[in-house]
Amino acid sequence: MNAIAPLGPTAVPISPYLGDVCVLGLGATGRAVATYLLELGPTRVRSVTVVGGKKSQEGPLAQELRDAGACVLVGTEDLLGTYDLAVVSPGISEFSDFFANAKAHAHEVIGEPEFAWRESPERWIGITGTNGKTTTTSLACELLKSSGIGAVAVGNIGTNVVTQIAERDPQTWFVAELSSFQLATTSKLHPRVACLLNVTPDHGEWHKTFENYLAAKEKIFANLDEGDLAILDVDDPHCAALARQLDDRGLVVCRVSASQIPDSPCRAYVDDGLLVVELIGERYELVAVSDLRIEGPHNVANGLAASAAALFAGASVKGVRQGLKAFAPLEHRIEPVATIDGVRYINDSKATNTDAVVTALRAFEPGRVILLAGGHDKGGQLDEFVDAIKASCKATVTYGEASDRFFEALSGQGLATLLQAPHMAEALTIAKNLAVPGDVVLLSPACSSYDEFSGFEERGRRFKELVLTLDLDQPGH
């Protein structure tokens, strides 16, 4: 397969002169963008103003940016003056008053990935989806590296893209995990490979409607042309419908499926237990499903999508095979913690919605799972969640703020064992006492963690501490 033709001269910004720029938000993204702008100098930037938002406060960061030359406003969402550009942090909804203020005072309002792409537009792979995008982003990056190709995982995965631009080698790929928040504020973003894994209702508080959420996800394909690759998992009905629309645009569309062989000249699928990718007339036989260290049909699909992206970007078959075999589960994503007395303990703390739990349950033998579910309730529909638990779980222990609603939905459904606990630690104690050799104790909460923890990361690490220390008789929380 031929190498992809470049978009244009490497590292030449789309907008050489930026003028007066306002940055919304004083968190990690705001700091990264403001710092980048201040380092550009007066030939490209006339002024940098940072507006922290109502909850922002004076502190070392505000003073650091002032010392570097920025005007910093804290405790407010009010913008003063007129700006050529506003760069908004992803936590600020496009339907918020703060965002509206920016639109009223700036000629254009964009997010950090859009800004970063304009600054360094070459060699981008964009990956999004309600679930699985972090694993797929990390894996695609590793497959490129295994082939001797420079790659950096950036975006929603935790690394602001602007922090990587200055040191980026011209041949290095940005493999960008893009959230719906980030995609909603794009207009010119043009990855050479764009991937949509799945779309299920999420983040209603930010997008207001599912239609807005879906539209944000679809923007990842907005600027693709016939020289690019669109990758969609057609086991998801929204993705399957969108694939047909992209066909009508004349794009090259790779259909991914872990359950069937798509009827398409460009596809990625499983054939007799083997991962196969077909791109532009070439067939690549990769590794057996059993060779993967990441479990479950959803991770087979993630592996297929990542392989298609990497191969299109120039990865070798040998490198992809090596990378697929070596890639280990990411922390908090169906992560094996330990096997104790024949019982496997799995940390899936990243499962913050019911769809992620449904996916996780498919990775294990039906009837052997003891599920720990609970936390801060997002209030989503529970029908598929209940059906999946009925089909897969030996027992379920609900806990936290969501415990009563989950317990009520599962009661009367014929479950052999359904119990409640006040907190995650007590739920784990119950699960340990129920488990016998061959069982799986799965933390897959279906909720955010803010009733008990600072985030899913703290929740997952606490779970692992409890498992590894076996301090289960006197659990803390």
Q: What is the pLDDT of residue 329?
A: 81
- Classified as helix, coil or strand, 460 is helix
Count Cβ atoms below 10 Å from residue 244 Cβ, excluding itself. 11
Q: Is residue 5 pLDDT above 60, yes or no?
A: no
Q: Residue 471: pLDDT above 60?
A: no
| pLDDT tens digits along 337-384 | 999 999 999 999 999 989 889 989 988 989 999 999 999 988 778 999
Return binding residues for ATP: 129-135
CA–CA gap between residue 110 and residue 162 (Å, rounded): 14
Indicate if the pLDDT at residue 399 is higher than 90.
Answer: yes
Kindly state the average pLDDT of the residues 159-178.
Answer: 95
CA dist 327 and 329 (Å) reads: 7
> Model pTM?
0.80
Q: Please, what CATH class does the domain formed by 19-115 belong to?
A: alpha beta
Indicate if the pLDDT at residue 132 is higher than 80: yes
pLDDT-derived band of residue 469, with 50, 70 and 90 as boundaries?
confident
At residue 40, does pLDDT exceed 50?
yes
Cα–Cα distances (Å) from 186 to 118, 179, 301, 334, in that order, read: 10, 11, 27, 31
pLDDT at 470: 64
pLDDT for 296: 87
How much is the pLDDT for 14? 82
End-to-end CA distance of the chain: 54
* In the predicted structure, residue 472 carries a pLDDT above the cut 50: no
| Domain 19-115 identical in fold to domain 335-472 | no
Q: How confident is the model at residue 333 (pLDDT cuts 50, 70, 90)?
A: confident
- Phi and psi, residue 173, nearest 5°: -90, 140
pLDDT reported for residue 330:
79
Instruction: Break the chain into its structural domains and give their ranges.
Output: 19-115, 120-326, 335-472
Which residue ranges are tagged as binding site?
129-135
Nearest to 138 by CA among 122, 123, 155, 121: 155
Q: Are 398 and 389 in contact (CB under 8 A)?
A: no
Strand order in the sheet with 151-155: 151-155, 173-177, 124-128, 193-196, 229-233, 252-256, 267-271, 274-279, 282-288
Residue 412 has pLDDT above 80, yes or no: yes
Compute how many other C-beta atoms are within 10 angstroms of the C-beta atom of residue 58.
Answer: 11
CATH superfamily of 120-326: Mur-like, catalytic domain (3.40.1190.10)
> What fold, for 335-472?
Protein-Tyrosine Phosphatase; Chain A (3.90.190)
